[in-house]
Structure 1
């Protein structure tokens, strides 16, 4: 059986895989372009993209805007025919300015989560840029659709539903994350599918669902597509690739991780997250607060006076391979990764597995 393409309006991705946006600096133009070149949707993270640009410490906003434009332009140059997206968290400071910059650069699609992107449609109405909110439940999907419909007469071009096995900051309580079997991704896909029905009937079009969180191989992909999703979102699998924008030591931390090393942390920004245990994490969560914390002022919910460490600073250090001063976020199945490969080989392997599992099901 043929592998279904992902259709989002006039955008067609031959491979039904969206590479998840990973900050800080894990998925920039290099990784996004590689994924786009081999049929998926490549995604640049807009979380502090200017961290390694001159001027970052002098004028962070200006430098981040400059860096975001640079990476969109570079990805477009490296993948002139591929689909390039940007992940912009609603929780970042200057969210609207980052969205406008991405739209002005003609990015194909904006993915937005870490909060409710209630005003996102007003920035894209006169553009070709598609928008896809990231949700963790059918209830949240319905809430966003209702607001976009009422205020902007706009239906999401796609919706991403992230389950509790994802990496990074998560839209679930710590208790839910400790009982992930109660929230299988297939169940969440069906929830979102049901939530969209009324709006799809009104607008006479289908909203493709992209599902992510804990998807590791072709069998996982087939399972999610069979549940009603149009595509999957995968992030963790793309870290251990040559094209990933992170330092090799960051990638090696994925390869070295055992199942027991994957843990839930309480992030300084008030959201739980899934990360790989290391000495830095153990130290800060034993209340040994690092000295001379420099607040980068990246996320709205963060309170520098109470934070045990600067999350952005820790992630920047990790991206550079300085894991004694930071840590890596990762999905629940990171321990299954045992080698670094190329994006092409990874996508080819995943698609071969999908064909094999589909054949068995038929």
Structure 2
């Protein structure tokens, strides 16, 4: 298993920890992953709730919270720290500017097309820019926009398949269609960006994500052209994960049958662990009274079946009467809590 290089960053182990919000991957998990030689990732979603103060509104609390998480992670590791920022966030620009000014190593941007991301870089910026896509077409559109408008090719590309947890960049009928599987998408993206690698003399590694659980999964997808992998669900059941212990136990208790596709208020399908809250949503019993956060561009309170940021924040705190856990398709395979170090040892063990 070769090391991963993104620009001038050397990542000894080609494993990226997925950015999981709200609050599931913060400085604690990210620094632990970075210390094992992977890329630790802080999720920017919902930080205004996690770091709320009376003197700050949601937007300002999000900025201050992100600064705190990046600085705390950097104090705990000399490894590589990234920030996951959803393009669908209404405070996307604030989160990007803050991440760059705090000199985080990488921005991972998905949940929409981050077409103007390079415009936020300054001459002295060190932050690498990595879009998250679900198709070769999306990779091409983003790369063309970045190159045409900013003369900037992506530093890497994360390709997230339909087995991922959380919001998915696929239509409902594509999720179980083998034509849209990660195994089909990866070679197409590699082929799409090959000319850019040559033209810009840039490695532009392709990172595979979604449903990767074992070393065998990793090696199989890397044989298809991926240079590294991104794992989310595997890191939830670690001691260092920033979520409440009850959140981690939702994964431990999960079965294959109760991980299902739901329709999110943001207008995208998502994969989650079924519970009473989700059942009540289906019955129309969870409509929000107001929207104090305005956190997602595509979420309309008058049409929303529930407030997604509140639901995810409640789950992060262990309150599953009023929330639920996003999870990847193989999340149910976790049977116990382990350390990040143990997980890395398992994924990188020589046969």
TM-score for both structures, normalised by structure 1: 0.94
Aligned counterpart, 2:309: 312
- 1:321 corresponds, among 287, 302, 318, to 318
Report deviation, 1:287. 1.6
Residue 257 (structure 1) aligns with? 254
Check conservation: 1:165, 1:180, Cα contact below 8 A. no
Displacement, 1:123? 1.3
- Structure 1 residues 56 and 275: CA distance shift in structure 2, 3 A: farther
In the alignment, does 2:25 pair up with 1:27? yes
Matches within 5 A, 1:143-182: 143-177=141-175, 179-182=176-179
Residue pair 2:288, 2:301 contacting (<8 A) in 1 also: no
> Structure 2 vs 1, CA of residues 228 and 176 (structure 1 numbering), >3 Å: closer, same or farther?
same
User: Match for 1:62 among 60, 63, 66?
Assistant: 60
Report the 3-state secondary structure (helix = DSSP H, G, I; strand = E; otherwise coil) of the residue aligned with 1:51. Answer: helix
Cα pair 2:260 2:272 within 8 Å, conserved: yes
State whether residues 167 and 332 of structure 1, in contact with CA within 8 Å, keep that contact through their aligned partners in structure 2: yes
Structure 1, gaps ≥5 residues long: 357-362
- The CA deviation at 1:57 is 8.9
Q: 2:218 aligns with which of 209, 216, 221?
A: 221
CA RMSD of aligned residues (A): 1.3
Q: Give CA-to-partner distance per residue, 1:66-119, whole Å, 9 cap, x none.
A: 00000000000011x100000011100121111010000000000000111111
Give the direction of change, closer, same or farther, for the CA distance of 1:188–1:125 in structure 2 (3 Å limit): farther
Structure 1 counterpart SS, 2:170: coil
Structure 2 gaps, min length 5: none
Shift of 1:197: 2.0
| Counterpart residue number, 2:126 | 128
- Other-structure match for 1:360: none
Structure 2 length normalisation: TM-score? 0.97
* 195-204 or 100-109, which deviates more: 195-204
Is 1:208 the counterpart of 2:205 in the alignment? yes
Which residue pairs with 1:8 in the alignment? 6
| Alignment check: 8 A CA contact 2:161 2:180 kept | yes
User: Helix, strand or coil: the match of 1:206?
Assistant: coil
Alpha-carbon distance between aligned partners in 1 of 2:212 and 2:301, rounded to the nearest angstrom: 34
Going from structure 1 to structure 2, the CA distance change for 1:56 and 1:267 (only over 3 Å counts) comes to farther
CA contact (8 A) 2:287 2:304 kept: no
CA distance in 1 between counterparts of 2:38 and 2:159 reads: 17
Given that 2:52 and 2:58 are in contact with CA atoms closer than 8 Å, whether structure 1 keeps it comes out as no
Task: Give the match for residue 107 of structure 1.
Answer: 104
Question: Relative to 1, partners in 2 of residues 1:56 and 1:233: Cα closer, same or farther, differing over 3 Å?
Answer: farther
CA contact (8 A) 1:241 1:342 kept: yes
Q: 2:136 aligns with which of 120, 135, 138?
A: 138
Output the CA distance in 2 between the equivalents of 1:56 and 1:152: 40
Secondary structure of the structure 2 residue equivalent to 1:264:
strand
For structure 1, which segment, 187-196 or 234-243, has the greater mean C-alpha deviation from structure 2 after superposition?
187-196
**Take 2:54 and 2:194, find their aligned partners in 1: how far apart are those partners?**
45
Q: Does the 8 Å contact 1:160/1:212 carry over to 2?
A: yes
**Paired residues, number:** 350
Distance 2:134 2:85 in 1: 16
What's the CA shift for 1:198? 2.4
Q: Does 1:76 align with 2:74?
A: yes
CA distance in 2, matches of 1:234, 1:302: 27
Q: Deviations over 1:197-246 (max 9, x none)?
A: 22222212221001100000000000111111110000000000000000
Task: Please show how residues 182-197 of structure 1 align to structure 2 within 5 Å.
Answer: 182-197=179-194
* Stretch deviating more after TM superposition (55-64 or 143-152): 55-64
Offset at residue 140 of structure 1 (A) = 0.5
Q: Secondary structure at the match of 1:315?
A: helix
* SS at 2:20 equivalent: coil
C-alpha contact (below 8 Å) 2:266/2:298 kept by paired residues: yes
Deviation at 1:125, TM superposition (A): 4.6
